Amino acid sequence: MKNGILVAGAGGFIGGHLVADLLRKGHKQIRAVDIKPFDEWYQRFPEVENLQLDLQLKDACERSASGIDQIYNLACNMGGMGFIENNRCLCMLSVLINTHLLMAAQKAGVKRYFYASSACVYAADKQTDPNITGLRESDAYPAMPEDGYGWEKLFSERLCRHFTEDFGLITRVPRFHNVYGPHGTYDGGREKAPAAVCRKVIAAKLAGKHEIEIWGNGEQTRSFMYIDDCIHGIDLIMHSDKVTFPINLGSTEKVSINQLVDIVEDIAGIKLKRRYNLSAPKGVNGRNSENTLIKKTLGWEPCIPLRVGMEKTYNWILGEMTKGA
C-alpha cells in the first residue's frame, strides 16, 4: 500500500465512522485494523483492507504501519464508567498499543500520527462540582487523571509529544468528550451514558415496566458530542498545522444525567419511575468541555444539539433492539 491511511481501532464506534468518512472523501488506500473478529466490528467496509490484529504487539503494529502515510490511532480497551472503574489494568495496558504504533510509525516514515485522547486526563479536583463551567486544556496539570484509563491517556499524550520533539514525527492529540451516536455499544457493560439511557428507556417501554435505574444521584453533569461533529473535528485537527498540542474536542452543552433521562423520555413519549443506585460507578461530579482554544485555532464547534443527536441514537438502538420482533 502506497500513501495509505491506517485506522487503528476501525472495528469500534468512532473508528467505523471515521473509515466511512474517509471513503466518502474519496480515499482509496485505507487499512482498517482491530483486535475484534470481523463479525463484531460495528461497521466494516469491503472496499478497504481489513485486518484482525492485536496492536498491543510490536509485530502487528509494524505490519499495520507498512506503506502508510497517516495513522489514526483510536485503538484502546475502554468503555463507560462501569467498565473503566472495574478494569483499570486492562485500560492501562492500552499503552502498549500507542507505544508500539508510534515506534512503528517512526520506522515506516509515517508523515502524520493522530492519537485519540480523552477528557479523562483532567485532574479530579477540577471536576468536583456539577456546576462546572468547562475544563481548559491546562486543567490536565498538576496531573490527577481518572485512575487507570486517564493515566494511560495522559502518558500517551506525553509520548506523542516527545516523539515529535525527539524524532520529528508530526502528532495530533484531541481530548474527546463523551462521543455518542448510532453504530456504537449500547449494552454489555462498555456502553456510555447516552446509549445506556436509550437502551434502558426502550427496554422499559417494550416490557411495559415503567421504571429505570440511574447510576448515582443523577445530578452529575456531562457534555455529549454527536459522532458527526466528532468526525469533522478529527479531520480539522489531523490536517491543521496550528494544533501542535492536546486540544479539547467536545460539546459545551452540559446536562445532568437526570436531564439526559428527561430528553430520552420525551423522545420515547414515556415517563418512568427513577431508582437511584448510589453504589454504582458514576465518575466525577461534573465535566464539560471548554472550547475557546479550538474555536480560535480551527473555528470548530459542534452544530448538532443534544436533543437532535439523541433522537438519531435512540431510533438506531430501537431498531437494533427490535430486529426480528
Residue with cell 430486529: 323
Distance CA 198, CA 205 (A): 11
Task: Please list, in sequence order, all residues whose beta carbon lies within 8 angstroms of the beta carbon of residue 4, skipping any fewer than 6 positions away.
Answer: 29, 30, 31, 67, 68, 69, 70
- DSSP secondary-structure letter at 95? H
H and E: helices and strands count for the chain:
11, 15
Q: Which of 24, 114, 20 is nearest to 69 (CA)?
A: 114
Question: What Å distances lie between residue 14 and 172, 186, 232, 285, CA to CA?
Answer: 16, 14, 12, 25
Scanning the structure block, which residue is given the C-alpha cell 497517516? 70
- C-alpha separations of 120 from 36, 175, 229, 271 in Å: 24, 8, 19, 32
CA separation for the pair 10, 309 (Å, rounded)? 22
The dihedrals phi and psi of 8, each to the nearest 5 degrees, come to -90, 130
Annotated catalytic residues are 149
